[in-house]
Amino acid sequence: MNYTFHQLQIFLKVVEHESITKAAEELYMTQPAVSIQLKNFQNQFDLALTEVIGRQLFITEFGKEVAVIAERVVQEMENINMKTQSFKGHLTGRIKISSASTGKYVIPYFIGGFFEQHRSLDLILDVTNKTRVVESLKQNEIDFALISVLPENIEVEEEILIENRLLMVGNKPHRDESRPLIYREEGSATRSAMEEYFNTKEKNQRKRLELTSNEAVKQAVLAGIGNSIMPVIGMHNELQNGDLHVLNYPRLPITTQWRLVWLKGKKLLPASQALLDYIRNEKENIIEEHFKWYQNYG
């Protein structure tokens, strides 16, 4: 067999999209060029890798098996390239992090200095809800996840960053039991914590509203629409300015930990390992510099 690394990359894109046209677009190649390379790769095998039924391209079972192996080969080749660069003193590649939505107030401070030092690295940061973060972690689509509650049924390793404190907040300094409670959407760790606190899984104790992001909840509380249990870490300016107030409720704060997690046994690439080492070495300095105000709440 005499196929090339480039052909493996092209074949994997075709498998990913089940489309030569979409593969060509993502690879910045012409459709005929992708077709030629795919045909040359196919010629190395006696069994079909793809088949066309009607006008739809499908990957055969044999093709799917080849793709699994090809993925490993491509990954190892990228590892070799990154390892070569690391021996030269340069980190290259891409780090993928998926963060629970409130984590956007946390993760930039813990990784900003690292990416300032290593400008040749690319960062993909997906900020979404906990359900999607856990699914990305489970499918090994990311290098790290930032979450406040450990996922169930997934073995992970972790590096704890900072406490996550949830307190009841409103736009007035006093409690008003007539105001509705504002909840996050299903799948949010904050939603789960708030439901557990008010025991609302079976019944509503107070009129409630539901919004789909932490920022939306915060704006609703600022507007006086209702009160909510929210992570204090995302309300620095509003609390300092007196636009929001922590309300005195028993059994609060609810405290968890913001933690960076990755799949147990995952072989971290040099760039990912370097980021983890940086966080471990600089964590206390980062907390002191950026989160000293946090100690005043909870």
Q: Which of 64, 34, 32 is nearest to 50 (CA)?
A: 64
The tokens for 32 are 């005929």
pLDDT score of 163: 92
pLDDT score of 275: 94
Same domain, 18 and 82: yes
Write the CATH number for 16: 1.10.10.10
pLDDT score of 296: 83
pLDDT score of 203: 46
Give the C-alpha separation, 8 to 47, whole Å: 16
pTM of the model: 0.66
Same domain, 244 and 181: yes
pLDDT score of 207: 62
Same domain, 250 and 171: yes
- Per-residue burial over 269-279, b = 16 or more CB atoms within 10 Å of its CB, e = otherwise: bbbbebbbebb
Q: pLDDT tens, position by position, for the chain (298 residues)?
A: 778 888 999 999 999 999 999 999 988 889 999 999 999 999 999 999 999 988 899 999 999 999 999 988 888 887 776 666 665 556 677 899 999 888 999 999 999 999 998 888 889 999 988 888 999 999 898 999 999 888 888 999 999 999 999 999 999 988 888 888 999 888 788 888 888 888 754 445 566 788 888 889 999 999 999 999 999 998 999 998 999 999 988 989 999 999 999 999 898 888 899 999 999 999 999 999 999 998 888 7
Give the C-alpha separation, 120 to 127, whole Å: 22
Same domain, 115 and 151: yes
Same domain, 272 and 128: yes
Same domain, 141 and 261: yes
Same domain, 110 and 224: no
The tokens for 151 are 């996922």
Sign of the alpha-carbon torsion through 285, 287, 289, 293: negative
Number of domains present in the structure of the chain: 3
Residue whose pair of structure tokens reads 């409103």 in the numeric block: 170
Q: Which domain holds residue 40?
A: 5-87
The stretches of the chain forming alpha helices (DSSP H) are 5-17, 20-27, 31-42, 61-87, 107-117, 130-138, 189-198, 214-222, 236-241, 270-290
Same domain, 127 and 275: yes
The tokens for 68 are 């699994």
pLDDT score of 41: 92
State the amino acid at position 221 in one-letter form: V
Q: Are 205 and 194 in contact (CB under 8 A)?
A: no
